[in-house]
Amino acid sequence: MKVAVIGGGAAGFFAAISVKQHHSKAKVVLLEKSPKVLSKVKISGGGRCNVTHSCFEISELVKHYPRGEKFLKKSFHQFKVNDTIDWFDKRNVHLKTEEDNRMFPITDNSQTIVDCLVSEFEQLGGVLKLQSAVTAITALVDNAGFELIVNGQKMYFDKVIVATGGSPKIEGLKWLQELGHKIEKPVPSLFTFNMPKHPITALMGAVAANAKVRIEGQKLESTGALLITHWGMSGPAVLKLSSFGARKLAEKNYQFNILVSWIGEHSEDAVRTLLQKEITNHSLAQVSNYKLADIPKRLWVYLVQKVGIELDKRWCDFSKKELNRLVNGLVNDCYEVSGKTTFKEEFVTCGGVSLTNVNPNSMESRKISGLYFTGEVMDIDGVTGGFNFQAAWTTGFIAGKLN
């Protein structure tokens, strides 16, 4: 049996390895159009590779996928987080869990993951062809396999696994559309919010450890750390929100307002109580010498000034109106977003091959027998934290069974 895997990323490598594990006599050819493989793995997680996430309950795990939740619920029963940890562990790549439950190799070096995958594939006898662009694929009649045009040459295979990753434009998926698959229009996911020339960007590098961010006029909200950058806002709270709101924010052409609560889930009444306690306990202190927990000092100073309160004002001199302004500024701080910034090589897309066209138990196309999908080429994407790689390992393992 000859099997082609198109795409040398995380999902492609894992699928190719899975084929050899389940069908040792199969000839597996991994076709990668660029001169390098696993480039996204190499740069991910700041060069450390966030392999997966310490989330072992499938019912909880699937909540981290804005697209693919129901689909993956079935798939994770075949290969879940524990299986990922075990798989790498058996190949002497040991993972560690960080405070936020992200999991990395103990080496803190993504090259460890790259080397492991390449070595495993080579040991199993797989064939890697670099700079091999697939420009056409034809399903032969009577389930007789597939004809691929690779660098202008015809190649024939019995089975094909598509692992080409997310495409930022629908044109990149047209060849799959021509095979009869429904394509969900790709739009960016996991992006930061641009706030051109907004004064808050002067605080770049400041992190509010526990913020809640909402899209004004929508039910979309997210909590987590918020990072102020020289172009706007980023961090887990923003990235998660951009992921869940990917389509709606694209419809708005990335022009919208956000409301930030700098102290997470605390209500206005709870914040007012906290501040009144400060007024009682430190009535003669200046407001600039105090900050609520988790708010960096320079951000606190900025927020106090933003609501029009003088920094040398003493707590005992606060009027009721001033207290209300400060409470509102801490819980409903409004910012205009105008544009986005994506992570270039690390881009994640919402969209791809419609999951209605794919069997979640086998990853086989419901349109063409013998054609399989894995990874982000499908309409699957997760929030930041190792979830996209977990989906790659899971769907790659299942596709490689060729069931």
Place of tokens 């019912």: 59
CA–CA–CA angle 261, 265, 271 (5° rounding): 70
pLDDT at position 280: 87
- Give dist(CA 393, CA 12) in Å, integer: 9
The pair of structure tokens assigned to 244 is 């869940």
The owner of tokens 């544009």 is 339
Maximum distance among all alpha carbons in the chain?
Answer: 86
Q: Give the separation between CA 27 and CA 4, rounded to whole angstroms.
A: 9
According to the model, what pLDDT value does residue 348 have? 87
pLDDT given for residue 344 in this prediction: 62
3-class DSSP assignment, residue 312: coil
Q: How far apart are CA 226 and CA 209, in angstroms?
A: 6
Three-state DSSP at 28 gives strand
Whose CA is closest to 379, among 252, 248, 247, 249? 247
Q: Please, what are the averages of pLDDT over each run of 10 residues along the chain (403 residues)? A: 98 98 98 96 94 98 97 98 98 97 98 98 98 95 94 97 92 93 95 96 96 95 96 95 96 97 91 87 87 86 96 92 95 97 77 98 97 97 95 98 97
Q: What is the pLDDT of residue 282?
A: 84
The two three-digit tokens of residue 164, written as one number: 């080409």
> Are 95 and 389 contacting, i.e. CB atoms less than 8 angstroms apart?
no
Residue type, 371: L
pLDDT number for residue 346: 60
Domains, the chain, in order of start with CATH, read 2-188+345-399 (3.50.50.60), 191-341 (1.10.8)
